[in-house]
Amino acid sequence: MQDLARVRLRMLLVMRTVVALCLASVLIVVVPQGSAKEAKVKGPWQLVSLASLGTVTWRCDPKRHPGLAPGLPALALGFNSSALQSGGIRLRAGGRTILARRIPAGPINLPYLHKRVQHLDIHVGGEDGTLRAFVVVDFAAGATSGYCWPYMPPKTEVRLLPRR
C-alpha cells in the first residue's frame, strides 16, 4: 500500500512540474508578443479596389510621433497592383508631388505624411488604352475614430476613368 501511495505522490509531483513548465513556456512566448503588437504598425487594410488596377490600402502606427494631428496616429496609404500591364502611381499632398514611380509587381507602402488630404493618381496602359483612377483620402482630425481599425476607414472619393 505504501508503494502505491509513493507512486501516486511521485506522479502527482511530475504532473505538477510538467504543468508549471508548460505555463511558464506559454508566458515566455505570449507576453512579449502581446506587448510587441501594441507597438507595431496596424494594417494594411483594404480601402478601395480599383477595376483591373489594384487595391488602395491604409495603415496606422499608433506609436509613431508626431502623428498627423493631435489625437491621431501616424497614417499612410499603400497600393497593391493587380494589373498585368505597366503603369505608374503618383502620391500628392498639400499641392506637391510626394512620390511618382512605376508600379512594381508587389505592394507599395507609401510614406507617412503630415497632410490630412492625400491624392493617389494611378494609371495602367497598354495597346487597349489607359485606365486611370484618382483616389482622394481625407484623414479628418475630428472623426470618431483614429483610423487604426479595419472597420473605421477614412473618407474616400474615387474617380475611375475608362480606357481611351
16 and 81 fall within a common domain: no
- Could you tell me the CATH number of the domain that includes residue 155? 2.60.40
90-121 residue pLDDT tens: 999 999 999 999 998 889 999 999 899 999 99
53 and 129 fall within a common domain: yes
60 and 4 fall within a common domain: no
Q: How confident is the model at residue 37 (pLDDT cuts 50, 70, 90)?
A: very low
109 and 77 fall within a common domain: yes
33 and 80 fall within a common domain: no
Q: Is the dihedral of CA 94, 114, 101, 48 positive or negative?
A: negative
Q: How confident is the model at residue 147 (pLDDT cuts 50, 70, 90)?
A: confident
34 and 55 fall within a common domain: no
Of the candidates 112, 81, 82, 108, the one whose C-alpha atom is nearest the C-alpha of residue 98 is: 112
pTM check: above 0.75 = no
Which DSSP letter does residue 115 get? Answer: -
118 and 59 fall within a common domain: yes
Are 88 and 101 in contact by the 8 Å Cβ rule? The answer is yes
133 and 145 fall within a common domain: yes
**Domain housing 18:** 1-38
- Phi first, then psi, for residue 49 (nearest 5°) are -105, 130
Of the candidates 110, 145, 103, the one whose C-alpha atom is nearest the C-alpha of residue 124 is: 103
pLDDT at 39: 53
80 and 63 fall within a common domain: yes
29 and 76 fall within a common domain: no
Are 74 and 112 in contact by the 8 Å Cβ rule? The answer is yes
For the chain, the domain total comes to 2
Four-CA torsion 145, 148, 152, 156, nearest 10 degrees: 100
71 and 122 fall within a common domain: yes
pLDDT at 145: 72
67 and 144 fall within a common domain: yes
